Structure formats: structure tokens, C-alpha cells
Amino acid sequence: MSEHAHATTSYYVPPPSRWPIVGSCALLAIASGFVLLLAKVAAGPWVMALGAAILVYMLVGWFGSVIRENQAGLLEGQVDTSFRWGMVWFIFSEVMFFAGFFGALFYARNFAVPALGEAEMLWPGYAGTWPTTGPGITDPFTPMAAWGIPAVNTLILLSSGATVTWAHWGLQKGERGQIKLGLVLTIGLGLLFLGLQIHEYAEAPFTLKSGIYGATFYMLTGFHGLHVTLGVIMLTVITGRVFAGHFSAARHFGFAAVSWYWHFVDVVWLMLFVVVYWL
């Protein structure tokens, strides 16, 4: 009892763990497999798959350890504050990640493309318009319309932000049914968003190779789709923990962190809708 009381009133330092080295081995296998894939070695995809499987094993084991420590009351006080700041800085790093791609799109659309259009002596026939047409663009296409699937997906993500907030309110009031329903609805809306985005990709009249427009479109929307996928996975884990009786109004950082991440995904999509689709 004295050791437990000491752990909860001071900064908890976990015991030595095997998970960091397991994660390092997983990343090494993924990178090595990718190199083999580039070299057209048949074993490349299998090595990458092995690395991915080890990585999943590491994530399940490591997060499982953290969850057990949290349920034991070891992650209180300053540790909880450190976790919150860590999540804040993680989201900030994601903001800067997307800022780089938005910056590339802005530069290409407002500076590079018009400049190349003026330099017809270098690229005869290059119109200098957006989306780009001219040398190297063999398949003519038009930009993706904003007021179709993208508008529907915007409504879906905004609704999912409302449902996860509603679930958070239920947690603060101790309404377990509201929490569960809100999270299940959020997961369903996230999956619906991903399904519509896959359909949009299948029907798109251009590809990643369709000039700078196609490249920036798929990089921005593709990475956002990856983040939505990760968010759905995290929401599923949190939902399982809610059904297992975890979290309370006073102690629910895991829930709050995933909620923050999901709202970040919502805001990024709003920017994508305005900048990539609408404008």
C-alpha cells in the first residue's frame, strides 16, 4: 500500500520494457522490406508484412501496458499533465505536417503554374491554368466538384464531431448509455466517410500522375483519409474500454486525447474542402 501511495503522489517511472526494441525491430523490417521491394526482390512484400505484424503486436502490447497502469491509478498528477502536453505537441506536429502540403498546393497554384504559363518558350502549348494542362499531361480532366461527395463528407465529419462531443458530455454526467451510443455513431460516421472517399477515388477522372493538381489532391486527401482511419481505430479501442467500464468524469485522458484528435481531423477536412475542392 505504501508503494502504491508513493507511486500516485510522485512521477511514475515504468519498469524496463521490451516494447521499444520490439517496435524498432518492426520498423527495421518494414524499411528493409521496402528496400527489397524497390530492388524488385520477391521477398520484399513479405518482409514488410512481417514488420507490420510485429508493429501491430507492439502497439497492442505497449498500449495495453499503459492502460493497465492507468487502471491501477499510477498515471495521475504530473504524469497526466505530461500526457496531455504530449498529445498537444503531437497534434501540433500533425498541423505542421499538413501545413507543408497546403503550402505546396498554394505555391504551385499561385506562383509556379502561372510562371510556367508565361514561359511558353520553355513549354510550348502550356496554358498556365489550374488544373494544369500541357506537356506531360496526356489525360485531360476537370477538378473534382465540391458540391457532390465532398460536401456530403463534410456534413458527415461535422456530424461525427458533434456525436463525439455528445459522448464526452455523457462521460462528464456519468451517462454510460450516452457515451456508448455517441461513440458508436462516431465510428459509423467515420466508416461512412471512408467508404464515400474510396468511391470518390474510384470515380475520379484523374490520377496521382495527372500533374501537380493530381499529386497535391491525392497527397492531401489521401493522408487525411489515413488519419481518419487511425482515428476510427482509436475510437474503436476507446469504445471497447467504455464497454469494459473504464473512464470516469474525473479520470478519462484516453477518451479526451482521442476526442481531440478527431476534432483535429474535422478541422483539417474543412480546410481541405475549402482549399482543394471549393477554390
31: CATH: 1.10.287
- Out of 47-51, 85-89, 133-137, 209-213, least confident range: 133-137
- Same domain? For 215 and 269 the reply is yes
The mean per-residue pLDDT over the stretch 20-49 comes to 94
Closest CA to 66 of 11, 10, 14, 3: 14
- Out of 119-123, 146-150, 273-277, least confident range: 119-123
The set of cell numbers assigned to 238 is 476507446
Is pLDDT above 80 for 187?
A: yes
Residue-wise burial string across 181-216, b where 16 or more C-beta atoms lie within 10 A, e elsewhere: ebbbbbbebbebbbebbeebeeebebeeebbbbbbb
pLDDT tier for residue 128 given thresholds of 50, 70 and 90: low
Residue 204 — left, alpha, or beta (φ > 0 → left; ψ -120 to 50 → alpha)?
beta
* Whole-structure pTM value: 0.81
The reported pLDDT for the residue numbered 279 is 78
Q: Which of 28, 59, 74 is the last residue of a domain?
A: 74
Q: Which of 54, 74, 94 is the last residue of a domain?
A: 74
The reported pLDDT for the residue numbered 202 is 87
> 190: domain range?
77-278
Number of domains within the chain:
2
Is pLDDT above 80 for 112?
A: no
- Out of 70-79, 151-160, 219-228, least confident range: 70-79
The reported pLDDT for the residue numbered 148 is 85
The reported pLDDT for the residue numbered 210 is 73
The reported pLDDT for the residue numbered 5 is 44
The reported pLDDT for the residue numbered 191 is 95
pLDDT tier for residue 92 given thresholds of 50, 70 and 90: very high
pLDDT of 11-28, one tens digit each? 778 888 999 999 999 999
pLDDT tier for residue 121 given thresholds of 50, 70 and 90: low
- Same domain? For 31 and 124 the reply is no
- Same domain? For 198 and 230 the reply is yes
- Same domain? For 235 and 269 the reply is yes
Q: Give the per-residue SS3 of the chain.
A: CHHHHHHHHCCCCCCCCCHHHHHHHHHHHHHHHHHHHHCCCCCHHHHHHHHHHHHHHHHHHHHHHHHHHHHCCCCCCHHHHHHHHHHHHHHHHHHHHHHHHHHHHHHHHHHHHHHHHHCCCCCCCCCCCCCCCCCCCCCCCCCCCCCCHHHHHHHHHHHHHHHHHHHHHHHHHCCHHHHHHHHHHHHHHHHHHHHHHHHHHHHCCCCCCCHHHHHHHHHHHHHHHHHHHHHHHHHHHHHHHHHCCCCCCCCCHHHHHHHHHHHHHHHHHHHHHHHHHHC
- Same domain? For 43 and 88 the reply is no
pLDDT tier for residue 9 given thresholds of 50, 70 and 90: low
- Same domain? For 163 and 248 the reply is yes
- Same domain? For 70 and 102 the reply is no
The reported pLDDT for the residue numbered 155 is 94
pLDDT tier for residue 270 given thresholds of 50, 70 and 90: very high
The reported pLDDT for the residue numbered 278 is 84
